């Protein structure tokens, strides 16, 4: 089982808002037993924008808010998808392998370190 960032987020917001599982599932037109698996990370989150907007509406999350963007990102990450804004930035995309190795405690190559140093210098 993977860490269910999306499921944990939705369950937390749902419970904080006093919305029960069955009530929530009625609002988003989803089977409660399947949705429970999404919240526990056993099923991938929905990827349809229509469905994600319905979830946001049920939880009173504004579509143009930071909370909505976080919800979308977590849905995509839990499904193994890199968010589009990350994929559209060539420099960030090229740095992802080094980033992944670093968080796995693997050493980046000398070329990757040089590229990172250059990126940091350019940003300051």
Separation of alpha carbons 25 and 105, rounded Å: 40
Give the pair of three-digit tokens for residue 77: 């990450």
Query: Angle between the 49-58 and 66-78 helix axes, to the nearest 10 degrees?
Result: 130
Between helix 21-28 and helix 32-39 the angle, nearest 10°, is 110
Q: What is the pLDDT of residues 70-116, one digit of tens each?
A: 999 899 888 888 877 877 878 777 777 777 777 777 777 788 778 87
Query: Quick check: 1 pLDDT over 50?
Result: no
Q: What is the mean pLDDT of the chain?
A: 87
Q: What is the pLDDT of residue 3?
A: 55
Mean pLDDT computed over 19-37: 97
The overall pTM is greater than 0.95 = no
Domains and CATH numbers, the chain: 5-83 (1.10.260.40), 89-123 (no CATH)
């Amino acid at each position: 089982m993977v860490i269910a960032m999306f499921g944990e987020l939705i369950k937390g917001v749902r419970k904080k808002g006093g919305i029960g599982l069955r009530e929530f599932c009625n609002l988003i037109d989803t089977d409660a037993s399947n949705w429970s698996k999404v919240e526990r990370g056993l099923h991938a989150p929905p990827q349809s924008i229509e469905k994600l907007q319905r979830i946001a509406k049920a939880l009173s999350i504004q579509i143009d808010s930071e909370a909505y963007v976080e919800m979308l990102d977590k849905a995509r990450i839990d499904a193994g998808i890199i968010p589009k804004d990350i994929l559209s930035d060539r420099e960030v995309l090229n740095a992802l392998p080094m980033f992944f190795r670093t968080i796995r405690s693997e050493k980046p190559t000398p070329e990757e370190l040089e590229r990172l140093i250059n990126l940091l210098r350019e940003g300051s």
